[in-house]
Amino acid sequence: MADCIFCRLINDPGSIAVYRDDDVALLDDINPQAPVHFLVLPRQHVETIAELDDHQLLGRIFQVAHRIARERGIAEGGYRLVFNQGPNAGQTVYHVHLHVLGGRQLTWPPG
């Protein structure tokens, strides 16, 4: 998808994607909402989490999220995993991504 910012970032060898395997990529959020805030996304362009029905790929996304959370030192304190689905949830980039937020006490309910 040429006009998708996340497709461009994760498929450009010179890009800032900090992790990449055959199925999954990781980006540091450009506007972090917590001391640690990164995004885990499928390399395949799928617009929303509701449309992502490949269970193996879903599992990989969570697996990478937990692994990088451990590597970045937020596993013990706890972290939040968020998929924003559609406009009311505030989804702004229509390439599925799992937000991983940690490193501070997060409030609930979310805004």
Asked whether position 7 contacts Zn ion by CB under 5 A, the answer is: yes
Candidates 65, 79, 95, 101: give the one binding Zn ion (CB under 5 A): 95
Residue 101 pairs in a beta bridge with 37, 80
Q: How far apart are CA 26 and CA 106, in angstroms?
A: 22
Q: How far apart are CA 53 and CA 92, in angstroms?
A: 21
Candidates 20, 43, 45, 72: give the one binding Zn ion (CB under 5 A): 45
Closest distance to Zn ion from the beta carbon of 61 (Å): 14
Rounded-to-5 percentages of helix, strand, coil across the chain: 25, 20, 50
Q: Which does 93 bind (CB under 5 to 8 A by kind): ligand AMP, Zn ion, none?
A: ligand AMP
Place of tokens 């924003």: 84
Candidate segments 49-57, 61-69, 70-78, 86-94, binder of ligand AMP by CB under 6 A: 86-94
Q: Which does 86 bind (CB under 5 to 8 A by kind): Zn ion, ligand AMP, none?
A: none
Identify whether the C-beta of residue 42 lies closer than 8 Å to the C-beta of residue 83.
no
Asked whether position 50 contacts ligand AMP by CB under 6 A, the answer is: no
Candidate segments 26-34, 37-45, 56-64, 65-73, binder of Zn ion by CB under 5 A: 37-45
Q: Left (φ > 0), alpha (ψ -120 to 50) or beta: where does 73 sit?
A: left
